[in-house]
Amino acid sequence: MNIIEGGVCAPKGFKAGGIHCGIRKNRTKRDLALIISEKKATAAATYTTNLVKGAPLTVTKANIADGFAQAVICNSGNANTCNANGIEIAEEMCNLVSEATGIDAKDVVVASTGVIGEPLSIEPIKSGMAELFESVSSDGNLAAAEAIMTTDTKVKSIAVSFEIDGVECKIGGIAKGSGMIHPNMATMLVFITTDCAISSEMLSKALSSDITETFNMISVDGDTSTNDMVTVLANGMAGNAEITAENEAFSTFMKALNTVTVHLCRSIAADGEGATKLLECKVEGAQSLSTAKAAAKAVICSSLLKAAMFGADANWGRVLCAIGYGTTDVDVEKVDVSFKSSKGQVDVCKSGAGIPFSEEKAKEILLEDEIEILINLNNGEYFSTAWGCDLTYDYVKINGDYRT
């Protein structure tokens, strides 16, 4: 398995593009993206469990109910959420794609991100559709990735190549996410493409299984968005025998998918609004997988711990505090805690109690931009990893006037 260039355009038969159509006031920022597959693809998606859902999720769910799709359109800058005519706009976006490409409107995934509750006009999208279609190319990954960004400061993209029965396959993805990151069943907006041949049933099984260990294990601010969606399109153009069962080929596909999703998870967490550090919490020695996950997520979600990491303060008591309220199946007198970065590792807690350590060394370790929080519960064989970021002054500044 190799990391390659190209993102969603790396797999055979996929092209993408992105433009500024006028939704965003800043003309230097793209706000409309399109991804197209040369052939109809099997499709799978997961969606936010927030009861308030963006209209595009409802339309997408209906469109891919048959397990197929061929295009993705997404606007940024203004979320199509809590609008009286939201369904109408989402369906019209699909119709516009159909008119420009010849693809059936029912084979279009539609997504939207930005400010919630603001009316979204279809006019900029309609007037920009010809230009958007013209922008689509095999080199359009970067433009598409930029067009789905809101408060993101960095493009999030990756692609990998892998082999199934001697046939080279590729899978790529782009994502947006910086604030309102605390997913449940899906997260932010993530678009994944692959030329691997896999049935819609197995594709759905792969995605549903993967997100429990990846996207559901990241948190920036504890807010589950209304627009969160992860979609995968697989057009089969690599030419491998279609994966229709849980076999060796399916396992290989799962590993490739996981490589893409973990990379995107880390990218999203590292680019949290106002963030200066990526936090990765690794829990081992748990009595059950659910306990390992709960402990890791509780630590990564702790505002006090996140603030301590911003200040490079080895306040390990906040780690134990989070474990204590986030789990029930833990013997706190067995817990070990360490902090680690490229500058080394410092052990700060043994068997639930503090141990002598160098505050100077700890500060040096925690000043790095990637921090590992290592926890051993010493009570079993299960493990889990969660990702997050520090909590800074800038997070409040960004969200204090986000709408205005």
For residue 400, how many other CB atoms are within 10 A of its CB?
9
pLDDT at 86: 94
d(CA 141, CA 147): 10
Helix (H) or strand (E) holding 160, with range, is strand 156-164
Return the exposure string of 179-197: e unless at least 16 CB atoms fall within 10 Å of the residue's CB, then b.
bbbbbbbbbbbbbbbbbbb
Closest Cα partner for 300 from 228, 358, 374?
Answer: 374
Task: Enter the DSSP assignment of 155.
Answer: -
Yes or no: say if 260 and 212 are a contact pair by the CB < 8 Å rule. no
Instruction: Encode the chain (404 residues) as per-residue pLDDT tens digits.
Output: 899 999 999 999 999 999 999 999 888 999 999 999 999 999 999 988 777 788 999 999 999 999 999 999 999 999 998 888 999 999 999 999 999 999 999 999 999 998 888 899 999 999 999 999 999 999 999 999 999 998 888 999 999 999 999 999 999 999 998 766 666 655 579 999 999 999 999 999 999 999 999 988 988 776 666 668 899 999 999 999 999 999 999 999 999 999 999 999 999 888 888 889 999 999 999 999 999 999 999 999 999 999 999 999 999 999 999 999 999 889 999 999 999 999 999 999 999 999 999 999 999 999 999 999 999 999 999 999 999 999 999 888 877 876 66
pLDDT at 183: 62
pLDDT at 179: 64
The residue length of the chain stands at 404
Q: Which of 187, 224, 226, 261 is catalytic?
A: 187
Tell me, yes or no, if 48 is annotated catalytic.
no
Longest dimension (CA), the chain: 68
Domains in the chain, please, with CATH?
Answer: 2-270 (3.60.70.12), 278-400 (3.10.20.340)
pLDDT at 50: 79
- Which amino acid type is present at position 221? D
Place of tokens 């630590």: 299
Strand 68-75 to 32-47 pairing: antiparallel
pLDDT at 220: 79
DSSP H helices, 271-380, are 289-301, 303-310, 317-326, 359-366
